[in-house]
Amino acid sequence: MKKYILDCVVVANIPLNKRYFLLRVSHPSPFPRMLPGQFVELRVDNSSDVLLRRPISIHDMNYETNEMDLLVQIVGAGTLKMSELKKGDLLNMIAPLGNSFSMPTIDMKHVLLVGGGVGVAPLLLLGRVLQQYSCKVSFLLGARTASDLVQLDSFSQYGEVYLTTEDATVGEKGFVTNHSLLKNKVFDKIYTCGPTPMMKAISAYAKTNNIECEVSLENTMACGFGVCLCCVTDTTEGHKCVCTEGPVFNLTTLKW
């Protein structure tokens, strides 16, 4: 897929809680088609210590308004600098990067999208695209506490939303893997993104129940387009660059 270097303009920077914010950006020309699961590499301007671009998932696309949404968690210098962007500022990105989630086959009746922490980010665009398919969509989203569960109204536009929090402030107490939904319902496919232990536990559930599962890895990245090899992961098909041959992998190819 052709990649572009785009000078985007910040339309809005909306704080969602103390650590999460939603960046809405636009571009003078129409955005190229972005697929669910793909990401962008953002240049962090006006910083003396952030040299490399930062990979961020495409959270949502609105082609009518030509706007892209990015859901970002502040974890270090780069994301902190991004949180200071204001309406009208420029944000340079390389996009679209990586492969994408594959779409359900016609016989799949019910798919489950499982996200933890900021790993929920790519699942919104996936939910939006899955609307075009006849399958039922459910989201199972987990976080430490209620205020870390963001964008719930947006998710609920595309399917049923089930929640867990570690402190029981909303939804069922514990981790997503403990949710009663997994005991009561049968799914034809699972898509997951979030902390590795969560994705491993969901993968184990998928394996045990013989459910097809796609996992989006968030390995540390530098270039984002296959040059530096810092994101390589070992798979059943040999070493693969997560930035170009991922970030989405079918569970059967991962050595989990």
Ligand X SMILES: Cc1cc2nc3c(=O)[nH]c(=O)nc-3n(C[C@H](O)[C@H](O)[C@H](O)COP(=O)(O)OP(=O)(O)OC[C@H]3O[C@@H](n4cnc5c(N)ncnc54)[C@H](O)[C@@H]3O)c2cc1C
Q: Are 128 and 158 within 8 A, CB to CB?
A: yes
Q: Are 113 and 138 in contact (CB under 8 A)?
A: yes
Rounded to a whole number of angstroms, the minimum distance from the CB of residue 58 to ligand X is: 8
Integer Cα distance of 136 and 165 in angstroms: 24
Regarding 72 and contact with ligand X (CB under 6 A), the answer is yes
Residue 227 interacting entry, from ligand X, ligand FES, none, C-beta within 5 to 8 Å by type: ligand FES
Looking at the Cβ atoms of 16 and 170, the one nearer to ligand X is 16
Q: Which does 147 bind (CB under 5 to 8 A by kind): ligand FES, ligand X, none?
A: none
Smallest distance from the beta carbon of 219 to ligand X, in angstroms? 6
Picking from 61, 43, 66, 63, the residue whose alpha carbon sits closest to that of residue 53 is: 43
Contact status: 222 vs ligand FES (CB under 6 A) = yes
| Residue number closest to ligand X, CB atom | 76
Residue 114, beta-bridge partner list = 140, 192
Tell me, by CB under 6 A, how many residues bind ligand FES.
Answer: 12
How many angstroms separate the first and last alpha carbons of the chain? 29
Which of 190, 223, 251, 254 is the binder for ligand FES (CB under 6 A)? 223
Q: How far apart are CA 137 and CA 200, in angstroms?
A: 21
Site membership for ligand FES, residue 230 (CB under 6 A): yes
Spell 95-112 as b/e; 16+ CB within 10 A means b.
bbbbbbbebbeeebeebb
**Which range binds ligand X by CB under 6 A, 3-11, 53-61, 163-171, 201-209?**
53-61
Binding site for ligand X (CB under 6 A): 39, 50, 54-57, 71-73, 75-79, 118, 121, 218-221, 247
